[in-house]
A and B are shown apart, each in its own frame.
Chain A
Amino acid sequence: QVQLQESGPGLVKPSQTLSLTCTVSGGSISSGDYYWSWIRQPPGKGLEWIGYIYYSGSTYYNPSLKSRVTISVDTSKNQFSLKLSSVTAADTAVYYCARESDYWGQGTLVTVSS
């Protein structure tokens, strides 16, 4: 059973960079032609797709966030990561990592506040 777990700071100051890591267990991030995604959900609102990465390193980003987003993969640690720069209060959300559509992490709340 594949499991995903997000980790990272729960509080980030405005203008700084949000950094999250997703650790995959129960399967190798390098096996299969899967993509590994980040999705976020502001409090009380809907889901927003951020982007995804293949284990080869190919990435695809939401154009609305593209200038601020970087997704990377570390196959040796079976992890992939999200960096979102120049954050504002509008980036406050629960951030989820997922393997394609089927396996999701539990989510982690990141609050942007001074």
Chain B
Amino acid sequence: EIVMTQSPATLSVSPGERATLSCRASQSVSSNLAWYQQKPGQAPRLLIYGASTRATGIPARFSGSGSGTEFTLTISSLQSEDFAVYYCQQYNNWLHTFGQGTKLEIK
């Protein structure tokens, strides 16, 4: 099983600033990585797939990078609606796994 480790567990950032979230895989997942945003009481929302491709309707302030075992989600200028929990997920093999999540909170 590929273990996905996200860091930090909690990130405090002020609105308008940049946020950088990390996700590490225990072995290479190539570019088969997705990022999701989840707000309280809601289903996860796909932000990024293929490590760097924005999903339909996702604002350009969200960007993903990385390949292999190291991945980053960057939110360039935080808006109030961006404060949420973010998950990465690998789908490189049939056994898909999620990271434990990073909570992005207002500083």
A→B interface (CB under 8 Å): 37, 46-49, 52, 60, 62-63, 96, 101-102, 104-107
Contacts and interface: CB of A to CB of B under 8 A. Distances in A.
Contacts of B94: 60
Contact of A105 (B1, B43, B45, B55): B43
A47 B87 contact: yes
Nearest to A64: B1
A96 B43 contact: yes
A63 B1 contact: yes
A62 B49 contact: no
Given A46-B100, A49-B97, A102-B46, 11 more contacts: A37-B96, A46-B101, A47-B38, A62-B95, A96-B44, A101-B49, A102-B49, A102-B55, A104-B43, A104-B45, A106-B43
A49 B101 CA distance: 14
**Interface secondary structure of B, over-half rule:** loop
A48 B87 CA distance: 11
B52 interface: no
7 contacts: A37-B96, A49-B95, A52-B96, A60-B94, A101-B55, A104-B45, A106-B42
Contact of B98 (A49, A52, A63): A49
The 7 closest A-B pairs by CB, nearest first: A104-B43, A47-B98, A60-B94, A49-B96, A101-B34, A46-B101, A46-B100
Nearest to B48: A101
Nearest to B56: A102
A62 to B, nearest CB: 7
Contacts of A60: 94-95
A54 to B, nearest CB: 11
Given A47-B87, A63-B1, A101 B46 contact: yes
